[in-house]
Amino acid sequence: MFIRKAPDLTCADVTPKSVYLDRREFLRAMGIVGATAAAGKGLFELAWPSKTAFAATKLTGLAKSPFSTSEKQNTYEDVTHYNNFYEFGTDKSDPAKNSKNFNTSSWTVSVEGEVNKPHKFSMEEILKIAPLEERIYRHRCVEAWSIVVPWIGFSFSNLVKLVEPTPKAQFVAFQSYFDARQMPQAKYAGIDFPYVEGLRMDEAMNPLALLGVGMYGETLPNQDGAPVRMVLPWKYGFKSVKSLVKIKFQEKMPPTTWNRLASNEYGFYANVNPTVDHPRWSQAKERRLGEVFKRTTLMFNGYGDQVAGMYSGMDLKKNY
């Protein structure tokens, strides 16, 4: 495993591509006023083209995360054309084809429930929460394939601290955006929408839990969860909710989409555990996209040093 433990992070700034139209024109289209904000010694400047909301924009000056793996990254083509995003279709190639016109303008994320400071965050506000950094994470899909992705974002715990959860907050529930008009393919997916997921509070506060706003040095493509998503590298991919619109802190364990559909196959925790087989296939091996031969699946996807302590004393075959 190649994960370093140093906790130090540095400030980062975000710079728009020079070929893009001026910042103020974009902000008018987004309904945002004043999208620059100091973040430590850095300055975030956000800009996207006025004709396409949240089109790919280069993000520069990113801090390098101490949590990154040194493993070879998958290509941008791999990660943007082999996706699970059932709102846009169930085939791996569907999301890239069907999400091209997904409208992410004027995006907000509502944070509510057991918090002292509930708030509806605009994307401008989200980008002010903490300096952005690049984190190269390995990921394992429950379908036995894996990838390595250079994400951009910051630890979700930074947002948690802003809203001040009450003592009753034991879990965090997440909800994805859903609009049947923009996502007509969803009716063939066989699951309920909007997509919902959840974490225990200690999981949400773990520094590996990333609030992602970009990858490969740019803002997120629609098919990969634009404009903001969760990224949880020690869990199977379906836990990392995309196109996030609601976060609710609550006392009881929240329902999750796949667990609700098939609880014998998809547990609440969904930690990568090679000793617990999916009822229809083994999880002991995985195939990295772009490779021919299979690899041995690592417990907690190789992030045990950072997360194993949260599950001390638990039966990880029962609590899968």
Q: What is the pLDDT of residues 160-199, one digit of tens each?
A: 999 999 999 999 999 999 999 999 999 999 999 999 999 9
Token duo for residue 123? 């994307």
Q: Given the DSSP bridges, would you call strands 196-200 and 171-176 parallel, antiparallel or unpaired?
A: antiparallel
Domains of the chain: 66-311 (3.90.420.10)
Alpha-carbon distances, residue 24 vs 45, 128, 184, 244, 300 (angstroms): 11, 18, 33, 25, 44
SS3 29: helix
Q: Which residues contact 25 (CB under 8 A, 6 or more apart)?
A: 50
Q: Which of 297, 310, 87, 96 is nearest to 207 (CA)?
A: 310
What pLDDT score does 123 carry? Answer: 96
Q: What is the pLDDT of residues 51-105, one digit of tens each?
A: 334 467 898 889 999 999 999 999 999 999 999 999 999 999 999 999 999 999 9
Token duo for residue 50? 């006025």
What pLDDT score does 43 carry? Answer: 29
Token duo for residue 76? 């941008």
How far apart, in whole angstroms, are the C-alpha atoms of residue 99 and residue 235? 25
The stretches in the chain having pLDDT less than 50 are 1-54
Q: Given the DSSP bridges, would you call strands 295-296 and 285-288 parallel, antiparallel or unpaired?
A: antiparallel
What pLDDT score does 55 carry? Answer: 61
**Burial (CB count within 10 angstroms: exposed 0-12, middle 13-18, buried 19+), residue 104:** buried
Q: How many CB atoms lie within 10 A of CB 156?
A: 27
What's this model's pTM, rounded to 2 decimal places?
0.83
How far apart, in whole angstroms, are the C-alpha atoms of residue 156 and residue 11? 16
Which alpha helices (DSSP H) does 8-136 contain, by range?
23-30, 76-81, 94-98, 123-126
**Burial (CB count within 10 angstroms: exposed 0-12, middle 13-18, buried 19+), residue 266:** buried
